Amino acid sequence: MAVQRAAVLAFGAAAIALLALASLTAPSTPARALVNCDVSDYSLDSEELAFLALINQYRSENGRGTLSVSPTLNRMAHWMAWDLGTKGYFSHTDSLGRMPYQRAQDCGYPTGAGENLAAGQSWDTAQEAFEAWKNSPGHNQNMLASYYVAIGIARVYVPGSPLGWYWVTNFGTVAEGGSSNPTPTPTATNTPTPTPTRTPTPTATPTPSPASPSPSPSPSPSATPTPTRTPTPTPTPSSGGGGFGGGFGGGGGSASTPTPSPSPTPTRTPTPTPTAPPIPPVTLREGPNLVTWAGGDRVPAGRLAETPGIVVVYGWDAARQQWLRWGRSLPDWANSLLELRRGNAYWVIATASSTLNFEQ
């Protein structure tokens, strides 16, 4: 059955594993002899150049540095595109069993690499591949990752293949030169500690003495009228007994004043504390998963250790420009990722599908 418009997207993050290991052991390794990475031509055609312009414009609009074309990553991408088409599969693990991080080094790149794949009978333009990756969160993350400075781009048509056109982009953290200026690795900026502002002690304001009132003229005395005696009425005893009648009846004419009932003290109704809505869990699939940590700050050994299938987690430290790592079976001294922070993105490598739950 002819394929009308097959479109398959896949996202690879296993390159992160080697990047993290390289940052913990050695910053880079010498380029090795090429191993299973030979292609007849890996120059950029017009659509591949158009994709380079699209992604660099997109990165600039989002405050990211532009990517330079790496000849080594270009060779790697073209080899992978031909391998996908001629061998009839669609996966980040190539026909030789290599993930992108291993393939990158076999092609002569000093570290591992990230990878985006797309394929389809009608996906022959840069705009189509770019929009597909832009609308996929994982692929979009690769295109906008601030730590990438180099790219390799391949668009290959393989006649008789299941999907026709194959697009591969590989991303690296080491610039080798190429068609655009490499972006320097950003240097962590130390935020200066603000100098505390001394609050001046207020000067005591003297209390003004009240002005002596001007004497008012004394009124002229007037004749005081002689009061007329008003007979005191005899109160009628209440029906409750003589105590009330006798007590107030002979006291000089004052009417009894009723004792007011005390007003009830209002009871304060406590305002219920709002309950935070539960955080939706994340379904992990086998392999690499890009996860934004939605829970509260946690040590990895807590929540991650409770989730089966998770073997290693990587987080990018922008300040130190290196990858941090937590591994389930690693000794404490080998773990450099000590805290998972809300809102940060992490690569979670799993050996089986599972569900990752979060807590506030």
Give the strand order in the sheet containing 150-157: 8-12, 114-120, 165-172, 150-157, 68-69
**For residue range 7-53, what is the model confidence (pLDDT) as tens digits?**
344 433 333 222 222 222 233 444 444 678 989 899 999 999 999 99
Q: What is the pTM of this model?
A: 0.47
Per-residue pLDDT at 87 exceeds 90: yes
**For residue range 102-128, what is the model confidence (pLDDT) as tens digits?**
999 999 999 989 999 999 988 899 999
**Tokens (6 digits) for 351:** 């050996």
Per-residue pLDDT at 237 exceeds 70: no
Q: What's the length of the chain?
A: 360
Specify the pLDDT at position 275.
Answer: 61
**Between the CA atoms of 155, 156, 162 and 163, what dihedral angle is there, to the nearest 10 degrees?**
30
How far, CA to CA in Å, does 35 sit from each of 19, 116, 153, 245?
A: 20, 22, 20, 120
Per-residue pLDDT at 131 exceeds 80: yes
Query: So where are the chain's domains?
Result: 8-172, 282-356
**Tokens (6 digits) for 36:** 């299973």
Architecture label for domain 8-172: 3-Layer(aba) Sandwich (3.40)
Long-range contacts, stretch 303-309, CB < 8 angstroms, 24+ apart: 303/340, 303/356, 303/357, 303/358, 303/359, 304/328, 304/340, 304/348, 304/356, 307/354, 307/355, 307/356, 307/357, 308/352, 308/354, 309/284, 309/350, 309/351, 309/352, 309/353, 309/354
Report the percent of the chain where pLDDT is more than 70.
62
Specify the pLDDT at position 182.
Answer: 39
**For residue range 138-153, what is the model confidence (pLDDT) as tens digits?**
999 999 999 999 999 9
Per-residue pLDDT at 247 exceeds 50: no
Specify the pLDDT at position 22.
Answer: 27
